[in-house]
Structure 1
Amino acid sequence: MNERELRNECSNEAFSMAAMRTCLDKKQAHSEAVLKRAEAQARRGITRWDEDDKYIDLAKTRLAVSGRAFAKYRTEHCAFAASMGGGAIGNALEMGRAACVAELNQRRAEQLRLLVSELPPKQTAK
């Protein structure tokens, strides 16, 4: 779901700005949990990957580095997205930021799932 769809969904469920903010905060928190699960699944998938250990270690390291870079990007991008609210009050700007974070987290989680979904697992000795 993109930012606009998230905000629209929350506005359909909420009858006040406070309720809409609560809804978007919940969507952001949910997206953070989804992303953490996807990161853990990616680490497990890489660990079970049928590949030389040096490539497994490299992939794990790069996953960690990309996670930190993503977090920095998300912070900066969503601050920019919130600034596009112009002179809106802080609560409205924060709702835009929360919707941005939720969208980016969901996208990153899906990217991670796709990247590791087709890794061949290690074969067990018979």
Structure 2
Amino acid sequence: MAVALGGDLPDGFAVLAGDDVCVSPLLALGATGGVLASAHVATERFAEPARAWRADEAARARELGHALARLSAALFAEPNPGVVKGVLYAQGRIPTPDVRLPMLPASEAAVAAALKELAAP
């Protein structure tokens, strides 16, 4: 997103982040929200920074964004959607962590690391 565009969005125009790790900085620049694979594992937590930025709570938004960036980095430690599906499976939210070939399921270590980040405050 161009910085100039974020600072002066046309009426009725919304910018959505598409890079999970960068959603918080893009919200700070004026993005409205995001389309994020990471949000599947913690939807409400990913909605919080957007609300904080809109409420002019920059310090809180930055703190939330840093934690979510670490979670997103863990979820993308291996090719997407492997780790996301592994976490959703571990949470009991989907019946299998399987992915279609040529992708491979996430490693146990990557899923464990993502679950650790997910459990962090």
Q: TM-score, normalised by structure 2?
A: 0.29
Task: Find the structure with the greater CA-based Rg.
Answer: 1
More helix, by proportion: 1
Q: Name the structure, 1 or 2, with higher relative contact order (CA <8 Å, separation 6+).
A: 1
